[in-house]
Amino acid sequence: MAAPTATKITAEVVAEHGLKPDEYKRLLEILGREPRICELGIFSVMWSEHCSYKSSRVWLKTLPTSGPQVIQGPGENAGVVDLGDDDAVVFKMESHNHPSYIEPFQGAATGVGGIMRDVFTMGARPVANMNALRFGSPEHPKTRHLVNGVVAGIAHYGNCTGVPTIGGETNFDAGYNNNILVNAMCVGLAKKDKIFYSAAKGVGLPVVYVGSKTGRDGIHGATMASAEFDDKSEEKRPTVQVGDPFTEKLLIEACLELMATDCIIAIQDMGAAGLTSSTSEMADKGGVGIELNLDLVPQREEGMTAYEMMLSESQERMLMMLKPGREAEAQAIIAKWGLDFAVIGITTDTGRMVIKHLGQIEADLPVPVLANSAPMYERPWVEPKKQQEILPEWVPAPNALLGTLKDMMGTHHLASRRWIWEQYDHMVMGDTVGRPGGDAGVVRVHGTKKGIAISCDVTPRYVLADPEMGTKQAVVETWRNLTAVGADPLAITDNMNFANPERPEIMGQFVASVRGMAEACKALDYPVVSGNVSLYNETNGISIPPTPAIGGVGLVPDWTKIADIKLKGVTPQGENSMLIVIGAERGHLGQSLYQNHATGKFEGAPPPVDLEAEIKAGRLIRALIRSGIALSVHDCSDGGLLVTIAEMALAGGAHGGSRNATGVGVELYPYEGKLPAHAIWFGEDQGRYVVEVTPQKAEEVLERARLLELPARIVGRTGGDSLTLKGETALPLTELRATHEGWMKGLMGG
């Protein structure tokens, strides 16, 4: 709704803008007067959790963010990492949780659009998307509707812009029943000397608006994203932005063409808080003031107020500062692509943001204060309680290992997500060489041998049980996924999804999570270069599980030598291949999917992470891949060793990974150690990989592992069309596939 200029500022109006009484008092002290309604709106979004990181910044500063490979760390629209040969990879992950729950199609679609703009505003062409999705229990009445809408929104936006969606993850858990998570990640390619930044350095620079017209959609979007839900959340539908991927495609091409000139001094997309955040942040970084005439803003609705224009989060818009005198050249390029172009202001030496509309001054604010004065809270927190380790013998053994495997592979935890990823175009652009369904997606750096590997991951049940260890595991899991395709892990982006930080136990989860991330990233030389924090993810006081999603990016030196999870089965010499598990086996069943299957509970400590062992195993795996010794590789994660082998078997053979795959059978060798057999087959011990090799290379691989003091053993050999284990009824792959592929189809109705 419109906020008239003359709106009286009452306690109710302040509360509606998400400001607490002490924050409003601080605002009055800063201004030395009562704010105009437009000024109140501007401060409300800039001081929102979503824009200011007021509860998290003190902890985020403890993360490792630099390294020889880092060109740009946190603080810009996206992180930038060196790929060598003048190439750079640009990437970030962001959340669109609240909007996607309220309006799943547009919420998810605009989440994809927003993260793509963060990438191409840096001068990079988007080359790959990923997403991390969390939905409620499959039995919840809203789940099917939300899955349908979110997946359709992601597919629509990504497919229409012509950027491949090459992987991701989707989980179902009752903890997300009323607050789903939609985290979108985008990766782009740029030249190192052609990175664009957002600092508007210079006085008298024309402030240029490019893209779609401004409407009333998305007003208070940032504020809405910084508040918890209640039963009336559906009424917030007008706060959800509406996206147009066809305009986004034009905007990408127009911006990249304009960037090929030397017209642009600074550029920023209009994301959360729209014109407000883009103008104030650009001016602040450049140490200048800014004057805007909102009469000149392209508008798609009549009678828009200054308040509405400054707070609108209409999509597909960019703000640029150009070199003076280059306006006509820039306009010609933008017009060629059929987009709006308008000079709406100028940079000044006043250090103030002055907003004019219809001959009136609607805001006159000090830029540094606006950009940097948000309250910074070191909120009270309590250390999360550690849970005791669950000994393997405490979890009952199954009647049959292979029968249990079949049952588990048909649950919502492990069932195939093919129904989802087949709706995404993962081959558009023609550079995808590592497709969905494996450990990491891979795209080629066009015209070179290099590839970029991408993975995103987190196991929320681990984080809930132990936020520090669980987040450490999430970081390492992405590192392992990149390693498993043959990539050198470079850096991460994160999306920290937590509940209400004003509750000490939730803030404690966040603090411990950051601690775990920092430890893992330091040890692995795997810095955090960008990210997003999404707090207040709860409804009626019920919190989501803490979910620090990690997006990892790695460099593949030669994309023709990547590995995948597909068992080859028969070696070039016509022999059946061998399967070796590398990494320590302790039979850890705490927080495991098997524990849940056997007892109906998730209990105990999550599996520990040994960072030293991870580094050694990673080096070995990458060496085995690059030398051609590893025929296929898969890291062990959810469900343990037996699930890992089953996934490799189902993906293998003719048409590997497709609906028509024949699969490759495996004769499993019985475990002969001291631990319970079910703990070895289903335990979720970390730092393990299953590697397929020829019989001739098996002993060499075992010896190389021994030299590194890494446990390794042969666990089976390929052959036939079933999984077999002495003393067990054989499990035909056709039967396993039907179970594995059937659950999602059943949920979504075909």
Q: What is the spatial distance between Cα 398 and Cα 150, in angstroms, rounded to a whole number?
A: 37
Determine the Cα–Cα distance for residues 248 and 715; give it in Å rounded to an integer.
50
Average pLDDT estimate for 173-177: 97
For residue 698, what are the contacts with CB-CB under 8 A and spacing of at least 6? 578, 580, 714
**What is the pLDDT, as a whole number, of residue 250?**
97
The dihedral formed by the CA atoms of 184, 473, 63 and 382, expressed in degrees to the nearest 10: 100
Q: Please report which confidence band the pLDDT of residue 2 belongs to, taking 50, 70 and 90 as the band edges.
A: very low
- pLDDT single digits (tens) 378-395: 999 999 999 999 999 999
The first and second tokens of residue 165, run together, are 């969606």
CB contact at 8 A, 339 and 211: yes
Residue 220 pLDDT level (bands cut at 50, 70, 90): low
Cα-based angle 160, 146, 432 (whole degrees, multiple of 5): 35
Given 17, 50, 98, 740, the catalytic residue: 50
Indicate if the pLDDT at residue 77 is higher than 80: yes
CA angle centred on 496, ends 90 and 45, rounded to 5°: 85
What does the mean pLDDT of the chain come to?
94
Residue 482's pLDDT band (cuts 50, 70, 90): very high
The pLDDT assigned to 221 comes to 52
Return d(Cα 92, Cα 493) in angstroms, integer. Answer: 6
CB 163 within 8 A of CB 116: yes
Q: Summarize the confidence of residues 465-482 as an average pLDDT.
A: 98
pLDDT for position 32: 93
One-letter amino acid at 453 equals A
Collapsing DSSP to helix, strand or coil, 478 comes out as helix
pLDDT above 90 covers what percent of the chain?
87
Lookup result for tokens 């400001």: 19
Q: What is the mean pLDDT of residues 257-275?
A: 92
Could you say which of 96, 357, 426, 740 is catalytic? 96
Considering only residues 392 and 240, tell me which one the structure prediction assigns the higher pLDDT.
392
pLDDT for 369 beyond 90: no
pLDDT score recorded for residue 662 = 85
Active site residue 156: no
Distance separating alpha carbons of residues 397 and 573, to the nearest angstrom: 40
Q: What is the pLDDT of residues 140-159, one digit of tens each?
A: 999 999 999 999 999 999 99
Q: List Cα–Cα distances, 193 to 148, 255, 259, 434, in angstroms.
A: 42, 17, 12, 28
| pLDDT greater than 60 at residue 224 | no
Region of residue 305 (phi > 0: left; psi between -120 and 50: alpha; otherwise: beta):
beta
Q: Which residues contact 75 (CB under 8 A, 6 or more apart)?
A: none
What is the end-to-end Cα distance of the chain in Å, rounded? Answer: 41
Parallel, antiparallel or unpaired: strands 317-322 and 206-211: antiparallel
Q: What is the pLDDT of residues 650-664, one digit of tens each?
A: 999 877 777 777 899
231 exposure class (CB count in 10 Å sphere: 0-12, 13-18, 19+): exposed
Q: Which pLDDT score is estimated for 1?
A: 38
User: H or E element: which one contains 354?
Assistant: strand 352-357
- Pairwise CA distance, residues 184 & 186, whole Å: 7
Mean pLDDT of all residues in 276-295: 95
Range name among 425-439, 471-485, 535-549 with the lowest pLDDT average? 425-439
Q: Which residue has the higher pLDDT, 124 or 270?
A: 124
pLDDT band for 750, please (50, 70, 90 cuts): low
- β-strand 125-135 against 165-172: which pairing, if any? parallel
Q: Which residues of 367-380 are buried (b: 16+ CB within 10 A; e: fewer)?
A: bebbbebbeebebe
**φ, ψ dihedrals at 92, nearest 5°:** -165, 160
> Cα–Cα distance between 414 and 594 in angstroms, integer?
11
Locate tokens 């595991």: which residue? 473
Beta-bridge mates of residue 725: 668
> Picking from 5-14, 163-172, 597-606, 716-725, which range would have the lowest pLDDT averaged per residue?
5-14
Residues 557, 445 contacting (CB under 8 angstroms)? no
pLDDT tens column, 427-443: 998 889 988 989 999 99
- Given a cut of 60, is residue 231 above it in pLDDT? no
Q: What pLDDT does 176 receive? A: 97
Interatomic CA distance for residues 568 and 159, integer angstroms: 31
Q: What is the pLDDT of residue 572?
A: 75
Residue with tokens 């849970």: 387
Cα–Cα distance for residue pair 39/628, rounded to 1 Å: 63
Half-sphere exposure of 403 (CA within 13 A, CB side): 8
Give me the pLDDT at residue 316, please: 94
Share of the chain above pLDDT 70, in %: 96
**Count of residues making up the chain:** 750
Quote the CA–CA distance of 410 and 419 in Å, as a whole number: 14
Q: What strands lie across the sheet with 317-322, from one edge to the other?
A: 264-269, 317-322, 206-211, 340-348, 289-293, 352-357, 360-366
Contact status, residue 500 vs residue 142, Cβ threshold 8 Å: no
According to DSSP, the residues that pair with 289 across neighbouring strands are 348
Average pLDDT of span 691-702:
97
Question: Does the active-site annotation cover 98?
Answer: no
Q: Is 19 exposed, middle or buried (0-12, 13-18, 19+ CB in 10 A)?
A: buried
Which of 543, 586, 606, 616 minimizes the C-alpha distance to 680? 586
Closest Cα partner for 170 from 434, 408, 458?
458
**How far apart are alpha carbons 568 and 684 in whole angstroms?**
25
pLDDT one-digit tens code per residue, 606-626: 999 999 999 999 999 999 999
Task: Report residue 222 as tokens.
Answer: 């940032």
Contact 550, 477 (CB under 8 A): yes
- DSSP 8-state secondary structure symbol assigned to residue 202: S
> In this model, does residue 271 exceed pLDDT 90?
no
Distance CA 550, CA 599 (A): 29
**Cβ–Cβ < 8 Å for 118, 90:** no
pLDDT for position 3: 46
Query: What is the Cα–Cα distance from 220 to 239, expressed in whole angstroms?
Result: 6
pLDDT classification of 58: cutoffs 50, 70, 90: very high
**Which of 234, 211, 402, 385 has the alpha carbon at shortest distance from 313?**
211
Burial group, residue 412, by CB count within 10 angstroms (0-12, 13-18, 19+) = middle
Question: Which residue carries 């001739």 as its tokens?
Answer: 696
